[in-house]
Structures are given as C-alpha cells and as structure tokens.
C-alpha cells in the first residue's frame, strides 16, 4: 500500500510539533516520519524515535548514496533530511505518513509527491509572538536564538506555498481545525 503524506511545516516555535503529536494520538492510520539529523543529540532524545542521529560524515555519505527523499544543511554543518527507507518502512506498515518538518523540506516533499500529499503551514499569530515563544523555551543559547529568529523570519514568507494555512493563535481551536483538515484529506477518494 502506498499511503498518503501529510506534511506539517512552520518556523520553530509555531506549534507544529504539538499539533502533530495530537494528530498521532487521535488518528490511528497515521505514523510519524522520523527525520535524520547530524546535530548533537539532546539529553532527552532517543535515536530512532526523535531523530536518526548521524554524524556529519555519515550524513554526507548517505546524501551521496541517494538515500534521502529530501535533505538540507539547515545550519552550517547541521543537516536534516528524510530517508527514503523511512517512507517505505511506514508504507509497508499500511500507514499514512505525517511529517513535522522545516519549510524547505516540506516544499521538496510536496514537489516529489504532488499527488497524495497535503502540506499544511502552521502560522503563528505574529512574528513577535513566535520570537517570544522561542525565547521562552529556554533551550536556546543567545547565538542559536539569533539563528532561529533569522531563519524563522525567512520561513514566514513561505506561507502561500502550501495547500493549507492553519493559524495557531488558540491551541484548542488549532487542534480541532488540524483534525478536520487531515480527516477531510484522508477521506478524499
């Protein structure tokens, strides 16, 4: 079975991960696509659950081998990507695949699978609120915060490149709307 692809994208801090986690709990036919990254593993993260952690040399080798559906060097020396084997693994399980991915990766997946995919941009209420959310996370150094703000500012300009825009100004409303968008898409012939 070749399932459908549901792509949630947004700048960091917009709420896409919270929304994707909710959808995975509510819709049994969905499975999460675990991305690969070369960034260091954080203390709470588990390899194969949060990411497939590869060192930069391994990541570049897998790029050369054509193992990625999409990949990007998001920050200097920090790669992120979707392994083709991950997509096949989940389709073999009979699942529709949901992604929590950056905007460029989302655009690449949508380009590779124009049919059978839905790309949803999660929009924060404003750039200022987005930057405040990033600051309040407490996970960023001043340098990484500056990088994220710069990247988020660019990513906010991608909104019109996706199939749907989901405003996340009230989380409960956004969760209900996300369920409706995904269920409508999955129920299409």
Distance from C-alpha of 136 to C-alpha of 57, rounded to nearest angstrom: 33
HEC profile of 131-160: HHHHHHHCCCCHHHHHHHHHHHHHHHHHHH
Q: Write down the pTM of the prediction.
A: 0.85
Q: pLDDT (tens digit, 9 = 90+) per residue, 108-158?
A: 999 989 989 999 999 998 888 888 877 777 677 888 778 878 888 888 888
Quote the number of domains for the chain.
Answer: 1
Q: What is the pLDDT of residue 153?
A: 85
Residue-number span of the structural domain to which 48 is assigned: 5-186
Q: pLDDT (tens digit, 9 = 90+) per residue, 78-95?
A: 999 999 999 999 999 999
Q: What is the pLDDT of residue 1?
A: 52
Q: What's the chain's average pLDDT?
A: 91
Provide the CATH number for the domain around residue 137.
Answer: 3.40.50.300
């Amino acid at each position: 079975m070749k399932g459908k692809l549901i792509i949630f994208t947004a700048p960091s801090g917009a709420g896409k991960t919270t929304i994707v986690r909710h959808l995975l709990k509510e819709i049994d036919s969905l499975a999460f696509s675990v991305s690969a990254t070369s960034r260091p593993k954080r203390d709470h993260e588990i390899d194969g659950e949060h990411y497939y952690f590869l060192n930069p040399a391994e990541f570049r080798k897998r790029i050369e081998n054509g193992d990625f559906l999409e990949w990007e060097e998001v920050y200097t020396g920090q790669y992120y990507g979707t392994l083709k084997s991950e997509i096949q693994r989940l389709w073999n399980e009979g699942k529709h695949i949901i992604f929590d991915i950056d905007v460029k990766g989302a655009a690449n997946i949508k380009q590779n699978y124009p049919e059978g995919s839905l790309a949803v941009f999660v929009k924060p209420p404003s750039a200022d609120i987005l930057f405040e959310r990033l600051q309040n996370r407490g996970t960023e150094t001043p340098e990484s915060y500056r990088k994220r703000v710069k990247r988020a500012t660019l990513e906010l300009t991608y909104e019109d490149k996706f199939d749907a825009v989901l405003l996340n100004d009230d989380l409960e409303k956004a969760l209900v709307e996300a369920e409706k968008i995904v269920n409508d898409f999955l129920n299409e012939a």
